[in-house]
Structure formats: structure tokens, C-alpha cells
Structure 1
Amino acid sequence: MYTFESRIRYSETDSEGKLTMASLINYFQDCSTFQSEDLGLGLDYLKERHMVWVLSSWQIVAERYPKLCEKVTIGTLPYEMKGFLGSRNFAMIDAGGEYIAKANSLWSLLDTETGKPTAVPEEMKEGYHLEEKLDMEYMPRKIAVPANTVQRETVAVKKHHLDTNYHVNNQQFVNIAMEFLPENFAVRQIRAEYKKQAFLDDLLFPFVAEEEKRFVVALRDQAGKPYVVVEFS
């Protein structure tokens, strides 16, 4: 597993002094970016070959949220590459070696000139050392949206939502969806199914629903097609 060490910063915590889910996602995202850059398979490599990795789904399970100044290890491992798809685990581990959080993710490799999926090159497969996937309960990628959704206030995509690919970053989608959670809703698991990219000035129409032990937010376009569906439980 590729890892790096860190310490929970004040800027990453909530009003209780604990790591936020958004910051946890950023740690995971940064970890895979560090690995790719260290292997020479990062942003410049992809740009030169007109390729980009786009996240298709997240499953993140948090056993707890670490406190301010706590020392942690963040790790990632790719465990499968098939066709245009890549599967990758993530983990955050405390100083005692216990798992704080685990995650599973599915990524799609796209050709930036055509916007269509492209097969993972052999040199990329060889560069990433595939490992055994983590021991965790793997949930389906597809998320069922309840019929009894309620439309909430529209969100306009701003510059701060965008990443280096000029679309809404996956963490920003989750952060937007979390704004619609009920007060004091304790999130242990997040599942996110990404359907399409959103760009500057696009409008996101949130449709939310609460069921027993889970809360679902679908961020849709004006035609009703989802950009992302996020389930909190």
C-alpha cells in the first residue's frame, strides 16, 4: 500500500474539533494523486496523452473521525484495471495501527479529445502495482433513489467547485449534498454514484429523501438527469 503521514489540522476539523468527511475525502484524493505523481503517471503524463481519470463511484466507511492534531497514516492501493476501468482502495490508519476509515472507488479513464472511455495503456498497468483489495463490506455501485424525494434550493456551480479538469470535483459534489442532511445526522458511510460531469455556471437541482437509517441526495440537471447520487447512512 502506498502511504503518507499527516497530522489532523485545525482547518480540516468541524465545530467539535474532529476531521470532517470532506477533509477525509481530500486526504484520499491527495493520496492517489501523490502515488500517481511519484510513479510518473500523474497530471502531466495524462495531459500529454489526452487522458483523464474520472471517478465513477465512492464507498467510504468511517469507524470514527480523528481529533485535532492526531497523527494519521493515509494509504491507497489499486487492485484491478480492466478495460477503461480502475478500482482502488483507500484507508486512514491511526498511530496504533487501527483503521479509522476504509474506502472503495471505481474510476473511468476518458479520452479528453473525444470525451469517450479509453482502454488503460499497458505501461500504466505495469506502473501501478496491483495488490489484494482491503477486507471490508463492498456495497453495490448503483444507488436506488426513493420515489418520495423533495426538491430543495438550486445550487449554481462556482469557480471554487472546480478542479484541474475544470469540472466539479468529486469531493465538492459530496460537500454540496451534505448541506441537505438533517441536523446532527451522524454519517458512518457514504456511497456516491457519479453520472455526468458538471461545469462552471451549471445549475444543480437537489432532490432529497430520508428513509430509515439512510438519507439520499440526487443532484440533477434541468432535464432531471442526475450528475451524482449520494447516499449517507
Structure 2
Amino acid sequence: MYTFHSRVRYSEIDANGHITLDNIINYMQDCSTFHSEDLGVGIQYLQKNHQVWMLSAWQIVIEQLPKFAQEITIGTQAYDFSNVFGYRNFAIMDETGAYLVKANSIWCLTDTVTGRPMRIKPEFVACYGIAKPLEMNYADRKIIIPHNGQKQNPIQVQYHHLDTNQHVNNGQYVKMALQYLPKDFSIYQMRAEYRQQAKLGDIILPVVFSVQRGFVIVLENEDGKPFSIVELLSR
């Protein structure tokens, strides 16, 4: 497993002194980009070859939230490749190596010129390698949209929502969804499904659904089609 070490910063915590979910995602995203950069297949390589890894789905399980000033290790590994999809685990561990957070993610290699998925070449597989998957209860990629949701005020995509691919970063959708949770809601598992890209100036229409153990937040375009679906569950 590829790893890097860090310490939870004051700017990354909530009012209770624990790291926020969107910053957990930031750490994991940083870990995967560091991994690719160190292997020589990072951002510049992908841009030169008109390729991008588009996130299709997240599943993050939180056993214990890291707290302010805690020393942590963030790790990632590829564990499977299938046609156009790559499968990657993430983990955050404490000073003893115990797992605090585990995650699964599914990525689609995409041609930035045509916008179409690309078949993953053996060179990519050889570069990343294939590790044994982390032990966790793997959930479905697809999230079922419930009925009778509550519409919220629209959000217009701003520059700070974008990443180097010039569309809304995957973590930003989750950050948008988090604002609709009750203040005392404790997240055990987050799943996110990504269906299309939102770009600068687009209007995102949030719809909030109550479900057993939590909430589903659908972030739609003006035609009612989801950009992203985020499920947030307690234990």
C-alpha cells in the first residue's frame, strides 16, 4: 500500500475537534494523486495523453474520526482493473497502524477529447499493481433514489468548486450535501455516485430525502438529472 504521513490540522476539524468528512476525502484524493505522481503517471502525464480518471463511486466507512493534532497515515492501493474501470482502496490509520477509516472507490479512465471511456492498457495495470482488497463490507455502486424529497435552494458552481479538470471536484459534491444534515448527525458510512460533470456557472438543485439511518441528497441539474447522489448513514 502506498502511504504518506500527516497530522490533523486545526483548519480540517469541526466544532467538536474531529476531522470533517470532506477533509477525509481531500486526504484520500491527495494520496491517490501523490501515488500517481510518484509512479510517473500523474496529472501532467494524463493531460499530455488526453486522459483523466473520472470518479464513478465512493464508499467511505468511518470507524473512528481522527482528531485535532493526531498523527495519521493515509494509504491507497489499486486492487482490480476491469475494461475501463479501476478499483482503489483507501485507508486512514492511527499511530499504531489501526484502521480509523476505510474506503472503496471506482474510477473510469476517460478520453478528454471525446469524453468517452478508454480501455485500460496493461501498462497501467503493471504500473499500479494489484493488491489484495481491504477487508470491509463492500456496498453497491448504484444508490437508489427515494421518493418525496425536499427541494433546497439552488447552488451555482463557482471557481472554488473546480479542480484541474475544470469541473466540480468529487469532494465538493459531498461538501454541498453535508450542509443538509442535522447538527448532531454522526456519519458512519458515506456513499457517493457520480453521473455527470457540473462545470463553472452550472446550477445545482439539491433534493434531500430521509431514509432509514440517514439521508440521501441528490444534486440535480435544471432538467432533473443527477450530477451526483450522496448517501449519508449513521450506525
Q: TM-score, normalised by structure 2?
A: 0.98
Find the residue that maps to 1:91 and give its secondary structure. Answer: strand
Question: Which aligned pairs between 1:16-55 and structure 2 lie closer than 5 A?
Answer: 16-55=16-55
Q: Which residue of 1 aligns with 2:225?
A: 225
Following TM superposition, the consecutive aligned residue runs of length 4 or more in structure 1 with deviations greater than 4 angstroms are none
Alpha-carbon distance in 1 for matches of 2:67, 2:82? 38
Alpha-carbon distance in 1 for matches of 2:86, 2:66? 29
Show CA shifts across 1:20-46 (max 9, x none).
111100000000000000000101111
- How many Å apart are 1:48 and its aligned residue? 1.0
- How many Å apart are 1:126 and its aligned residue? 1.1
Paired AA for residue 117 in structure 2: P
Q: Which residue of 2 aligns with 1:130?
A: 130
Show CA shifts across 1:93-130 (max 9, x none).
00122100000000001100000001112221111111
Alpha-carbon distance in 1 for matches of 2:105, 2:40? 21
Alpha-carbon distance in 2 for matches of 1:23, 1:189? 15
Question: Which aligned pairs between 1:174-213 and structure 2 lie closer than 5 A?
Answer: 174-213=174-213
Paired AA for residue 226 in structure 1: P
Structure 1, unmatched stretches of 5+, are none
Q: Which residue of 1 aligns with 2:215?
A: 215
Alpha-carbon distance in 2 for matches of 1:194, 1:88? 16
Aligned length: 233
Alpha-carbon distance in 2 for matches of 1:184, 1:29? 27
Find the residue that maps to 1:136 and give its secondary structure. Answer: coil
Find the residue that maps to 1:105 and give its secondary structure. Answer: strand
Show CA shifts across 1:130-159 (max 9, x none).
100000000001111111111111010000
Q: Which residue of 2 aligns with 1:171?
A: 171
Alpha-carbon distance in 2 for matches of 1:121, 1:159? 33
Alpha-carbon distance in 1 for matches of 2:212, 2:90? 28
- How many Å apart are 1:212 and its aligned residue? 2.1
- How many Å apart are 1:232 and its aligned residue? 0.2
How much is the aligned-residue C-alpha RMSD, in angstroms? 0.7
Paired AA for residue 37 in structure 1: E
Find the residue that maps to 1:125 and give its secondary structure. Answer: helix
- How many Å apart are 1:163 and its aligned residue? 0.3
Matching of residue 158 in structure 1 with residue 158 in structure 2: yes
- How many Å apart are 1:65 and its aligned residue? 1.0
Q: Which residue of 2 aligns with 1:111?
A: 111
Question: What fraction of aligned residue pairs are identical, expressed as a percent?
Answer: 48
Structure 2, unmatched stretches of 5+, are none
Show CA shifts across 1:46-72 (max 9, x none).
111100000000000011111111001
Alpha-carbon distance in 1 for matches of 2:113, 2:220? 25
Paired AA for residue 145 in structure 1: I
